[in-house]
Amino acid sequence: MHSIDTRLTLKSINRLCDMTMLTRGRFVLAVCLALLYFSSAAYVRAQAVLAIPRDPSEVSLPAERLSSSLNNSVDSGGVATASATGIVAVPASPKRETGIDWLHLAEGSFAFLTVEHVFRYATEWGTRDAFDTPFWPGYLASAGNLHGWADGDPFYVNYIGHPMQGAVAGFIWQHSDRAYRDVVFGENSRYWKEKLRGAAFSYLYSVQFEIGPISEASIGHVQAFFPQQGFVDHVITPTVGLGWTLAEDSLDRYVITALEAHNRNPYVRLLVRSGLNPSRSMANVMNGMVPWHRDDRPGVFKPYPEAAAAKTALERDTARVPVNPPPGVAPFEFTMTPNFRTYLGSGAKGSCIGGGSSIAFRVAPEWQIVVDVNGCKLLDLPTNLSGDSLSYMIGPRWTPSTAGRWNAHAQFLVGGAKLTQERMYPDKKLALFGGVIPNENLYAMHALYTQDWETNGFAVAAGTGVDYKINNALAFRVANLEYSHSWTQDLNGMNYQNGLQVTTGLVLRMGTW
């Protein structure tokens, strides 16, 4: 009895030490970020006092040249004098306004990756333990174990943290995209084109972070263990991350600029810019700039142009840009969809909810080839039983009407389906841990108190739906109804062969603007 008490006491001490180290690590990280933030403020304030505008974003321009400052950072070869303030702006070196600044993009991306992986190493014991395991077996096990939707992370990690990661990656891209770095929110093709370019980079960054050379799979072998094998982050990071950037851009245009135009206190402007655009602020730091930097207007320590002039310039720069020739049929479409599926037939059980994405290539005026991937979490299962479904299909889509706002379609897809279930045995878990859950090697011991089932099979799906075209770049999938059949085996007496699925979502239309 004494030995058991001693063992429990040691476990409690170890857990307390790990919690203390975790708290200390977060505290140190917060202090470092605070020091970086306020030292940047002090540095830029010193530049303003000494009238040494080394950062082009900190240069003040006269009101009549505001339109140029909103479309291009100060990069002309002349010397500008602010008529109202008498401040002489020293121009920066001319910048190329086309192409991608690949070196700067690589630096910002690697800095962001470094911060993320250092934080993972400091706060995740599983990541630290994986450094003692062979690299290639662990990496291949992680990449090969991916299936299903959920990955065991809490809601705020999957649906807040990862979208913010996608938004940061999108803003890092935007600053290196020379021709589009200064776009502002509105109905114009330049803005939406940049958002799509940023979303594409965000997806690539997300895949790299999950299973690439410098990833969770290579540093920590995370996906090799339960429950980290889901695809949720692959889908949510770029898609919801795109929505996050749209929200921050709209706040920047309609709220932040209005507050700046009516408030001359630079520290209020600093806090407003940084606080209301957290993802953009993080991206600025990763790009080696102050958090409140903007490519479309002067810095916070320089006199902000008059509100009327700012409003006029913003209205002009965000006005609708006509497309000539008029847009036709989109040659390429990318769709992001949440979905709900219910299972039909004898022995069918419950439903499934999740999401997915598809790409469609136009091969004829009325025909597309569609590649579709969907994942969802099985619902209505008995206690201690969980499961998920993954489908991957390809096939033709018929779009009989491509003119006008409303567009209907019908499709037939073929591919495969994979379903998994897992049962957790509470009695085995209790006997294994004796009521004390360890905070180390828990995932590695997961198989000792659980049992898995898996089935794969050929699958077909047929469905129809309707889209509403919002503008040349974006459409809304009002509804898509699809029936699917798979040649899979029953799992624990439950039949998942026949399903009826309803999806909705956004369609990005490429090549029409």
| pLDDT mean over 426-430 | 88
pLDDT confidence of 106, banded at 50, 70, 90?
Answer: very high
Q: How does the average pLDDT of the chain come out, rounded?
A: 78
| pLDDT mean over 421-449 | 78
pLDDT confidence of 319, banded at 50, 70, 90?
Answer: low
pLDDT value of position 271 = 95
Residue by residue, what is the 3-state secondary structure of 273-297?
HHHHCHHHHHHHHHCCCCCCCCCCC
Residues 6+ apart with CB under 8 A from 120: 127, 216, 219, 220
pLDDT confidence of 440, banded at 50, 70, 90?
Answer: low
pLDDT value of position 420 = 87
The radius of gyration of the chain from alpha carbons, rounded to an integer in Å, stands at 27
pLDDT digits (tens, 9 = 90+) for 453-508: 989 899 999 999 999 998 777 899 999 999 999 999 999 999 999 999 999 998 88
Using DSSP's 3-state secondary structure scheme, residue 178 falls into coil
| pLDDT mean over 285-309 | 80
- Taking the C-alpha atoms of residue 45 and residue 300, their distance in angstroms, rounded to an integer, is 9
Instruction: Select the highest-mean-pLDDT range: 29-43, 159-173, 443-457.
Output: 159-173
Eight-class DSSP state of 306: P
Question: Are 307 and 260 contacting, i.e. CB atoms less than 8 angstroms apart?
Answer: no
Count of CB atoms situated within 10 Å of the CB of 378: 26
| pTM, 2 dp | 0.63
Residues 6+ apart with CB under 8 A from 107: 287, 288
pLDDT value of position 189 = 76
Question: Are 60 and 89 contacting, i.e. CB atoms less than 8 angstroms apart?
Answer: yes
Domains of the chain: 1-90+101-321 (no CATH), 332-510 (2.40.160.20)
pLDDT value of position 241 = 92
pLDDT digits (tens, 9 = 90+) for 375-396: 888 999 999 998 888 898 999 9
- Taking the C-alpha atoms of residue 345 and residue 312, their distance in angstroms, rounded to an integer, is 62
